[in-house]
Amino acid sequence: MSKSLVIVESPTKVRTLQKYLGKDYQVAATMGHIRDLPAKEIGVDVEHGFKPKYTTIAGKTKIISELRKKAQTATDIYLAPDPDREGEAIAFHTAEILKKNGRSFHRVLFHELTPKGILDAIQHPIKLDIHRYEAQQARRVLDRIVGYQVSPLLWRKVKIGLSAGRVQSVTLRIICDREKKIHAFTPEEYWSITALLEGKTKEAFEAKLVKKNDKKIKISTEEEATCIINELNNASFILSDIVQKDTTRNPLPPFTTSKLQQEAIRKLKFSAKKTMMVAQQLYEGIDIGQETVGLITYMRTDSTRIANEAALEAIEYIQAQPNLGNSFAVSKPRFFKNTKKVQDAHEAIRPTSVQRTPESLSNRLSADQLNLYRLIWQRFVASQMMATKIAQTTFQITAQNYLFTASGSIVTFPGFMALYQSEEDSSKEEKVLLPNLQKNTSLSCQTFSPKQHFTQPPPRFSEASLVKELEENGIGRPSTYATILSTIRDKGYVNLEKGYFRPSELGFIVNDLLIASFPDIFDVAFTAKMEDELDLVESNDRSYLAVMEPFYASFKKDLDSASDKMINMKGVGVETTLLCPTCQASLYVKMGKNGHFIACSNYPVCTFSANYARNDKGEVVLEEADPSEVIDAVCPKCNRPMTIKQGRYGKFLACTGYPDCKSTESHSSLGQSKDTGVKCPNAGCEGMLVEKQSRRGKIFFACNQYPKCDFATWDRPVSRPCPVCNASFLAEKTSKKKGNYLACVTLDCGHEEIVEEKS
């Protein structure tokens, strides 16, 4: 008897599905994409309708063979990769390799991996969506054309190994543009004046000076502030008006992908990549004891839509809680409107059952899973709770022709905030109480507090604010944000410093070259428009070719021009305003195999070169020598002084007589290895283990008596004897299952102990 075959994307889902579908179904996984554009060529026929050339992905031949084997007796195949564009492409490619006369293919969309969600989806399959597939194909081909034709240009003009991307490079531009605004910013001084006042109740409160002669006041200097205070020293302060207002604050909608990423970054300190990884685990199924079940709905969505039955379940839960009850629950489900551009294929991210509370799952989930699940669960349940009520009071105080104000607010009914507060809610919620005073009351001023301030430049982007910026500008899709942010860091274009993105010098160089050569392709508005075009392809309002042809015509024109006109950073470089200290010729920024540097334009007559940095205004300045790296060494070949240089694998010593003398030595010859405090374990050796660096920059630990003693290890030694075999030290190790732990390196000992992480 033939069994129907269900094919999913991830192997994690197989066990969950097999359990609920029963013995009449086989379940198999593609392990992601099985076909893609070839890795070593562009794989797109731009001359004949931009037809892609798909090939089997390396390592997927065995998986395809297993799928064919399982499909041998199946007449009905249910294609159930993820319910998005990428999943649609996997479904189409799977159908292509398994097509056979008499065999039927059905598309299944699992929005939640629960018994009801699984059975409903199987019982109501749909047809494969050619338009969604073409939208994915258009994005893939666009990205391939840009990446495979601009990246080699950067290799020739800047440095081997660089990459450009249609969305990646626009993200870099957004970060660089913000940095340039910071460089251009000139802070302005201003002052504020706060008065400490009290009335008949003798309860002191603060009021801020806001107006003079009914106009907003601006105090630029300390002298101006002092002058105003002198005018007010003998003034009468009158509480001229009291404004009281009751306001309400409604809960936010359940999470979309980008909003989940932003909140997880802020509240849980997760990266966007980690958020998506943990959310995938919660969606695909968790063993909660009696069953393996998906705990949340599909996590790639930009819709705030929720099912009516899910909202009703949340309302019933709220009503049943003794600490909440009917007064906290809305009387009927609260729904949220989507914006016009939202794809409404999926619900918002919510728990598949509100009854599975975070507390009930605390012993079944990892710490990361539990924290993210709690965030999703609370946000959804809060969306069906009553609004928070806040009483606001504002005092208006007159003193001569000046106006002071004092504001306070208090939560009179917590509403949804009893369960969940976003960062935005937390920052707005004030608990400032003003004294109970009557209008026209005379007040006495205890003190004045003048304070100096300076206007601040726009802040650098954090992961959360960058995701928000991408979303608001229509750049990429929420499912791609994590990959984009990882790529620009991995390529060395940006650094994440204290939680904020800052362009590297390489990032600035690449960004400036790309903008100059491709003003349209890497423009924020243009990229957002292309996202709209892809949406139109999916909705069958625009054809594949209608998107590809105009894009490529413009791109090809810029590409041909850039091949000739893009500045060659390996050759001429970019001129700076600096002059060579040796011959007074112009200095140029260039790129060598070891990175960027500054060099004299009069080369080879003048061989001056140096490292450089950028000051607070973004201007190129010569980097001063680090006093700690002044060395007293001479070249063993020509007796000229040696200097420290930066190479591909770190620092090294080079003769100052270059290019006449090309002698070099290892930087480690200066004896700058770090002592670990651990004695070498080799019998009879009196050496100590020191930290060293391999030619490729990897840290290892070796005896300082090398070459007499050749002991070395990749694991960091810790000066703690093994409690089992009395070995002189333990070694730090890390694994996915165990995390950080210490282990004895003695063969056959096997002692291990977990390292407690510092808070």
In degrees and rounded to multiples of 5, residue 509 shows phi and psi of -60, -50
Residue 515: how many other CB atoms lie within 10 Å: 18
Task: Return the SS3 of 202.
Answer: coil
Q: Annotated catalytic, 298? A: yes
DSSP string across 701-753: EEETTTTT---EESSPEES---TTT--S-EEEEEETTTEEEEE--STTT--EE
The enclosing H or E element of 447 equals strand 442-454
Tell me the torsion sign for CA atoms 594, 596, 598, 603.
positive
Q: Determine what percent of the chain falls in helix, strand and coil, rounding each to the nearest 5.
A: 35, 25, 40
Say which DSSP state 627 is in: G
Residue 664 bridge partners (DSSP): 654
Which of these, 216, 96, 172, lies nearest to 503 by C-alpha position? Answer: 172
Beta bridge partners of 198: 444
Structure tokens that stand for 128 in this block: 């494969």
CA 264 to chain CA centroid, nearest Å: 11
Strands, sheet with 752-754, edge to edge from the N-terminal-most edge strand: 717-718, 730-735, 739-743, 752-754
Cis peptide before 604 (omega within 30 of 0): yes
Q: For residues 369 and 275, what is the distance between their CA atoms, to the nearest angstrom?
A: 9
Nearest partner of 403 among 212, 197, 199, 193, judged by Cα: 212
504 phi, psi to nearest 5 deg: -80, 170
Residue 86 corresponds to which tokens in the numbers above?
């990428």
Q: Environment class of residue 676 by beta-carbon count within 10 Å: exposed (0-12), middle (13-18) or buried (19+)? A: middle
Contact 272, 482 (CB under 8 A): yes
**Alpha carbon distances (Å) from 48 to 35, 45, 123, 169:** 21, 6, 41, 28
CA-based radius of gyration for the chain: 33
| Helix and strand totals (H; E) in the chain | 17, 36
**Burial level of 463, CB count in 10 A (0-12/13-18/19+)?**
buried
Cβ of 136: how many Cβ atoms within 10 Å?
21
* Residue 629: DSSP 8-state: G
3-state secondary structure of 345: coil
**Nearest alpha carbon to residue 656 among 605, 607, 598, 604:** 607
Describe the crossing of helices 272-284 and 12-21 by its angle, rounded to 10 degrees: 20
Tell me, letter by letter, the H, E, C secondary structure of 248-314. EECCCCCECHHHHHHHHHHHHCCCHHHHHHHHHHHHHCEECCCCEECCECCCCCCCCCCCHHHHHHH
For 573: left if phi > 0, alpha if psi spans -120 to 50, otherwise beta; the answer is left
* d(C-alpha 146, C-alpha 165), whole Å: 6
User: In sequence order, what are the beta bridge partners of 692?
Assistant: 700
CB 361 within 8 A of CB 295: yes
Phi first, then psi, for residue 173 (nearest 5°) are -60, -40
Chain centroid, CA 237 distance in Å: 51
Catalytic residue among 20, 133, 283, 298: 298
Catalytic positions are: 298
